[in-house]
Chain A
Amino acid sequence: MSVPPPFAMLAEVTHRCPMRCVYCSNPLALEPASRELDTDTWRRVLSEAADLGVLQVHFSGGEPMARKDLVALIDHAAREGLYTNLITSAVLLDEERMARLADAGLEHVQISFQDTDAAEGERIGGLADAHRRKLAAAGYVTRAGLPLTVNAVVQRYNASRVAAFIDLAVELGAGRLEVANVQYYGWGLLNRAALMPTREQLDQMTAVVEAARERLAGILTIDYVIPDYYARMPKACMGGWARQFLNVDPAGRVLPCHAATTIPGMMFETVHDRNLADIWQHSAAFNRFRGTAWMPEPCASCEYREVDWGGCRCQALALTGDAAATDPVCHKSPHHREILAMAEAEGLSATGTFVYRGLRERAEVRRVCKPLEARRHV
């Protein structure tokens, strides 16, 4: 039986990034520039994606603008009829590059903001002068006539400034705002205890978002992503494993999601092994958690199994040690109470030390990972 094609591809064209955000969801073992796919290979991958049925391509990273050939890649994607989106920190954006990206056919830009307070944002992002550059970049985007999304990355230190983020988005002329609480993968997972908001902070920001949605209907669309450890039901991660998205990482590995490489024992094929359509349809990794046949109880008999698709495999792994377990943020998971209690305790803890994102030697990554592994079997 043929598998329906994916709607979107996340093209993680590089892991290089001038920022060092402590919440980054990239893997701890970042790919160096020497392992990145070259321009022609990315062009081929984009063409294969269009043939497969992909409609949207999200250029991401790392910082996608760290690639000198980004304009060429967007130009190629647009020629293939793909709708192109740039997900960027915007610190490398200038007016001239913006014009070239727009000419190449770029349709939309999403700029991340670490805070509305410059100094605090720069502490989280680990880069001086970042906030001023982002504000300027937002102007380049709107002056080029492109729609802008402000991505407000929320954690405990800026949770009280969600209202200010909303004002900022309106002021910058964004049509869309993502109030995106940190999701705990990669560096974000490593720094979770220092980032987790309290339940009270979450309730307050939810009220702020709901009021703003009503007040700004038709002016600003607000997408709201909560820290799902506090949820009753898990998120339908990626819209379900291998259902809507595929991800190509900087080294050309084809993944069902960008954190999938954390799952031990999984073999991910690369764009050098066979074409995207074959990998999408036939690879063991894509078929491992596709659909519902792999599900354990309580998922297998759950009426929501085709709503949330069992939640997130990488989160199940990180929190229970088993990628095939029910996502433990689900209230039906036997681990749910422990996870919720842990989130509440971490939210109230005073841990304030961060590990900043950066290229590390494997041995150092192992060392950095150690407290994480100790937490796996909670």
Chain B
Amino acid sequence: MTGRVLVDEATRLRFAPHVRFKFDERRERWVVLAPERMLVPDEIAVEVLQRCTGEARVVDIVDEFTTKFEAPREEIASDVIAVLQDLADKGVLVP
């Protein structure tokens, strides 16, 4: 049994095997297809997910977003980690 992944700024995440993140041409939006589950991430979550390739650390994503969205770093970090923790708990993302 593997334990729960606790996401912090040092974590690197990628999609779990058999989870697909794809652009749905028919509905013109991004979707996450997972076992008996379909998620429709909002715009910010899409931006986060596009960086979950197993290379970027959470800290890299937070730094990039802090510049990009011109928002306080603390706020961005807490939002990004919340989104990622939720998806890791759902088994969508893995280290």
Contacts and interface: CB of A to CB of B under 8 A. Distances in A.
A145 B20 CA distance: 15
The prevalent SS among residues of B at the interface is loop
Contacts of A145: 17
Interface centre among A5, A58, A107, A218 (most CB of B within 10 A): A218
A218 B2 CA distance: 9
A176 B35 contact: yes
Contact of B36 (A4, A110, A219): A110
B48 interface: no
A149 B1 CA distance: 15
A305 to B, nearest CB: 22
B36 A146 contact: no
Interface string B22-44: 00101100010101101000000
Contact of A85 (B20, B24, B31, B36): B36
Contacts of B31: 55
Interface in A103-144: 107-108, 110
A235 to B, nearest CB: 16
Contacts of A5: 26-27
A55 B91 contact: no
A175 B17 contact: no
Contacts of B1: 170, 173, 219
A53 B18 CA distance: 20
B72 interface: no
A53 B2 CA distance: 36
A53 B6 CA distance: 35
Interface in B1-16: 1-6, 16
Contacts of A147: 16-18, 35, 91
B18 A107 contact: yes
B5 A146 contact: no
A56 interface: yes
A175 B17 CA distance: 12
Nearest to A219: B4
B55 interface: no
Nearest to B40: A7
A55 B53 CA distance: 23
A85 B35 contact: yes
A173 B2 CA distance: 9
A207 interface: no
B2 to A, nearest CB: 7
A39 interface: no
A262 interface: no
A217 B26 contact: no
A176 B89 CA distance: 11
A218 B33 CA distance: 18
Nearest to A106: B18
B19 to A, nearest CB: 8
Contacts of B27: 4-5, 53
Shortest beta-carbon contacts, A-B, top 10: A218-B4, A108-B35, A53-B26, A83-B33, A218-B89, A107-B18, A175-B91, A147-B35, A147-B18, A217-B89
10 contacts: A5-B26, A53-B26, A55-B24, A56-B38, A107-B18, A110-B36, A147-B91, A176-B91, A218-B3, A221-B89
Given A85-B35, A147-B17, 9 more contacts: A5-B26, A107-B20, A110-B35, A173-B1, A176-B35, A176-B36, A176-B91, A217-B4, A218-B5
Interface of A: 4-5, 7-8, 53, 55-56, 58, 83, 85, 107-108, 110, 145-147, 149, 170, 173, 175-176, 217-219, 221
Interface of B: 1-6, 16-18, 20, 24, 26-27, 31, 33, 35-36, 38, 88-91
